[in-house]
Structure 1
Amino acid sequence: MTYSLEPDSQALMQRIHRDLIDSYDEEFEMELEDREWDADGQLVREQDEDLRRRYFRELFRLQGELVKLQDWVVSSRHKLVILFEGRDAAGKGGVIKRITQRLNPRVCRVAALPAPNDRERTQWYFQRYVSHLPAAGEIVLFDRSWYNRAGVEKVMGFCTDDEYEEFFRSVPEFERMLVRSGIQLVKYWFSITDDEQHLRFLGRIHDPLKQWKLSPMDLESRRRWEDYTRAKEAMLERTHIAEAPWWVVQAVDKKRARLNCIGHLLGLVPYHEIPHPQIDLPQRVRHEDYIRRPVPENMMVPERY
């Protein structure tokens, strides 16, 4: 996409460049979330500057490709669903943020459903997920999904054995039905080690910006690590179907996991760059009798910074 600018443009282009750099600062701010802590509550050093620069350079390149994918989804009226599953603190939220960070929320949205209420517990199990599926030209990312039944509900005893077995009978047909209807369904499992989850939970305990992420369910999941492992293995074995296979992301290194997942996703969607017409910025219409009214001082936010 190209833009037509007025000729006195050197200063203007410098300002646009500064604004562009400012927009990338969001990623540097989000990097605070990658801080890690040891068992003594001491901050672990971040990786060296050269690796950080390479990470950001590649991330921004991939995000540029995601914008092209988004344009293609809208133009082709494609319907894309991406499921993100994994243990607590596996890094699902981090990659979801990087995917959606530069995209239009009207095109690409996240579905992160809370625990079902009393009414939803009596519905057909998949019913509350169906309303979040995409229409033509939309992308939906599920931060956890209907696979809750195969994981946390099974391990924590929130479903009966009959409900658990019915889920495995139903989910392959449910997903085949989605694919037949024209939805592309991509399923990711984020895999981390026992030691890595332990380290990330310590980070949530010691970092005041992360403590809200630590729930009683997270603490219980640590105790039941082996139960979750058995549930995960059964889930992958029984729901890995040709129409919607599982893809496992090695996620011990958060940054590598993000790049690998986004790069893989781009390779699964048959997108191409959509040409855009040149945009000419119109001149503002000015009227001699227009007078801008001053804003009262008591309405202004104090400029403390």
Structure 2
Amino acid sequence: MSDTIYPIGTANISWNDDEKQQWFDSQNIKRSYHNDVVSLINELTDECDVEQYGELVYQDANYPLFAIKSRNWQNNKPTVLVTGGVHGYETSGVHGAIRFIKTLGRHYSEHFNLVVTPCISPWGYETINRWNPAAIDPNRSFYANSPAPESANVMAYIAGLGVELVAHIDLHETTDTDNSEFRPALAARDGKINTNWNIPDGFYLVADSAKPAAEFQKAIIENVTKITHIAPSDENNQLIGVPQEQFGVINYAARELGLCMGFSDAKFVTTTEVYPDSPTATDEECILAQVAAIAGALDYIASQQ
């Protein structure tokens, strides 16, 4: 695919602080985290425990960070973490996490302790961005002494719970703007040459190459198939430039790359990828696909107990 030249910076030279500031100054608020997300979280307080685990202050705006926990918490139950909005622009991840706990939380809390952090990057949600204001990708920043407060806050919160996670499902999207905006911006920031990848048309999963859990991934794919189509591989049997491990699944070195799904020692981990720009998908279908992914994951784990 053809390359896209980014308007900020000089070819082959990584951005300095002035260029990062230029990028930040070009951003603007497009939607409301408080109206779209916090309002829905507040509706859950009758059935769930809602905890504020941090706050971000960007552009003179305050962004409280919330976790939603199932109420009938018991230490003898396995604990599952669901994260959304690590990349704030990936809308169905945010709303899929909330929809899951709203519609299926009571059912699955009979078997699991549930922890849901639906919007880890609220500034990214409002500005429809992959990065935070410092031009840092939170989903490459899940490691000790993280430079991204979005990542650092949620890692500290989960560590403070003092529980072992059995599973972590991280909800994401792959969009056409990956090629039109985010990959060109990344190449410009790092002083590299951009080469766009083929955007998969459909749902797929990214597993952790250190613990791929193939049957777990397969169970998720099978459940999501009931809602939406699974992305076929390209002519090289790849998805986003990575060899397909099984139908609809690729593997990444999660911890080495600083990915959200890699920060814990959970046995079962996955990153969902919904394609909202498909001509056959709707916003609602994308949300339901995220819910189906979580349900498929938990049904599989429950069957193994």
TM-score using structure 1 length: 0.32
Determine which structure has greater relative contact order: mean sequence separation of CA pairs < 8 Å that are 6+ residues apart, divided by chain length.
Answer: 1
Structure with more strand by fraction: 2
Q: Which has the larger radius of gyration?
A: 1
- Greater fraction of residues in helix: 1
